[in-house]
Chains A and B, each alone.
Chain A
Amino acid sequence: MTELEAGRAQALVPVRSGAVLQRYRDVLIALIAFAVLASLPLFTGSKALLDFVIRCSAYGLFATSLNLLVGYTGLTSFGHGMFFGLGAYSFGLIMQKLGLPIPAAFVATLAITAVFAAIIGAICVRLKEIYFAFVTLAFQMLIHSTILSWASFTGGDQGLRGGIPRPVFLGIDLSNHVHLYVTSCALLIVGLLAMRQIAQSPFGYTLRMIRDNAARASFLGIDVWRAKLTVFVLAALFASMGGMVMALFVSGAYPEFAYWTISGEGIFINMLGGVSTFLGPMVGTVLLLLLNDTVTRFTEYHGIVLGVVILFFALGLRKGLLDFVAEWYAHRRETGEER
């Protein structure tokens, strides 16, 4: 839902109940979405389809978390993919070396990500636009080259091989494909719901203020640096979650997960789906993965096809798909009201 629509919804109901209602509505949508996704294996035996949804979960969490930075705060990170890679590697390494229960490894990975993100963020968020973009990119490359060079620990360019152990917890066996599928969907939905909450919280509006006019925000008593750092760490946590889903899916971790192309794809996904709506990046994720899968099936030159599609969006539509739909819808509503 766009901010424009949110404003309209509030016009109809008092502010307070409007906000609460909106929350119930989001939870309801999430529950329905989860129910639909989780029941999918009952209707189809297609492993390819379920795999597709798992990959969408991993990339969707990552891309939506990037939108918290790019779309909501105006922080264009070119290195957000480092947290995707960090999540995948930390989780894989903890499981391989320490053999913790999966939930413990999950939490430990989030903690590690938070520490890294806090340090890197503390350095980066005070830099201006293009510098912020490139320093985040540099940190991404730093992590990538660390992974490559520290071969004894990370497996170097071969990646973390030998599979990630997936012990049963709470009756959930992640080596079972359906279990893995449902868990991925659950992580996606919980993650999206949490990010939606962040976006619609008072903090979410603080982020919008910073995006629009950081100087003014500080004259309202907002500590801009702290708010930026907070969202940088929060976004890193969800990106890391995406990385963990990916690590579980491929039962390993590879240097490509930490390479700059992941960040590039994340930004592309955001543009593809649109950054002005919460679900834009999710739509973008599905589109990109579909595109990738289809194109690689038909031609070995999928770079050209992908490039042309990007050009179409960037030069033709000049905005993401959901942005386009939202604007069209808003326009229609406005002209409808005037009539």
Chain B
Amino acid sequence: MDIDALAGCLSSSACLVTQTTSGLIIGMLLFLVAVGLTLIFGVLKVVNFSHGAFYMFGAYFAMTAYQLTGSFALAMLAGAAGTAILGLIFERVFMSRVYGADVLMQVLVCYAFVLIFDDVVRMIWGPEFKAMGMPAAFQVMPLFIAGGVVPPYYLLLIGVALLAAIVLGIGLSRSRIGKVIRAAAHNPGMVSALGINTGMIYGGVFALGGMLAGLAGALAAPVRSLTPGMGFSVLIESFIVTVIGGMGSILGALIGALLLGLIRSFGSLGFPLFTEGLMYLFMVFVLVSKPTGLFGKEAA
């Protein structure tokens, strides 16, 4: 424990800015992964245990696309589009077979794919740590805000994630397809009664969830090292986010992710070895005081 370091940081604006920014990027990345998880759970009532793999694939796709084309924009596109397609296939071919089955069965199918996907990555890209490297466009002087160092890429990352959150929020509440998705989350029978193909909706939601996780992976690729199995810790953290925020709640996912990001970045100063423990403690604390999460609906 290092309470002095934490207290010292809290009294210095430079350190506050740095830690808050790093908390925000952790939080925004987590949000992108968690919101897909929560959407999939909300609509399909399936806990996608393999969601971390989409984050991982997003990062690897982006790295390969960047190495081939040298274009950062194409790298992001490859990460997002590749995982969207992957999500669609995964849902249509495998997950659609276990709807309505025991939760255990669904978790097992996902668990199988966690194992398979990790090995596939190991086969294609090798077991060692990889780095995509910071794109040239962002290799510029960092910004100084109130004395704190903020790399420009961090701002881009936060901006893109925020944009995704806004588009998603508006899309779900305003557009027709968004309304259908929310209706499907509420009552699957009603949607098919309206003559809308639930299979399309389910596949689409899975693709969307996969795409968001993939985008998170692609955005993270320049600042994180890539390794098979990198999805798992992200998965666990996004679970914590969804559980804290409330399963199925998008706003909950955003708040939960930001809280967790800040806990991580400030916790790493005060409790360098127990940062993860802090997150779990926080989750336990939230669930004990409100068992359905901060924004969760009371279970029927």
Direct contact of A and B (CB under 8 A): yes
B108 at the interface (CB under 8 A from A): yes
Distance from B227 Cβ to chain A, minimum over Cβ atoms (Å): 14
Interface contact A310-B287, CB-CB below 8 Å? no
Interface-located stretch among B12-20, B25-33, B178-186, B270-278: B270-278
Known A134-B239, A310-B108: A127·B287 in contact at CB below 8 Å: yes
Interface contact A318-B113, CB-CB below 8 Å? no
8 A Cβ contacts from A89-111 to B: none
B177 at the interface (CB under 8 A from A): no
8 A Cβ contacts from A116-160 to B: 123, 126-131, 133-135, 137-139, 141-142, 145-146, 148-151
Distance from B207 Cβ to chain A, minimum over Cβ atoms (Å): 21
Interface-located stretch among B54-62, B96-104, B134-142, B252-260: B96-104
Question: Chain B 221-243, CB within 8 Å of chain A: the 1/0 string?
Answer: 00000000000000010011001
Interface contact B291-A141, CB-CB below 8 Å? no
Partner of A131, one of B105, B116, B240, B287: B287
Interface contact B243-A134, CB-CB below 8 Å? yes
A315 at the interface (CB under 8 A from B): yes
Distance from B276 Cβ to chain A, minimum over Cβ atoms (Å): 4
Interface contact B115-A306, CB-CB below 8 Å? yes
Partner of B109, one of A264, A301, A303, A314: A314
Residues in A whose Cβ lies below 8 Å from that of B277 = 142, 145-146, 149
Interface contact A142-B115, CB-CB below 8 Å? no
A contact residues vs B (CB 8 Å cutoff): 70, 76, 78, 123, 126-131, 133-135, 137-139, 141-142, 145-146, 148-151, 260, 264, 267-268, 270-271, 301-304, 306-308, 310-311, 313-315, 318
| Extra pairs beyond A131-B247, A145-B274, A307-B116 (20, CB < 8 Å) | A78-B107, A127-B287, A134-B239, A134-B240, A135-B243, A137-B236, A139-B280, A141-B236, A142-B277, A149-B274, A150-B273, A267-B104, A271-B105, A301-B122, A303-B116, A303-B119, A304-B116, A308-B116, A313-B108, A318-B101
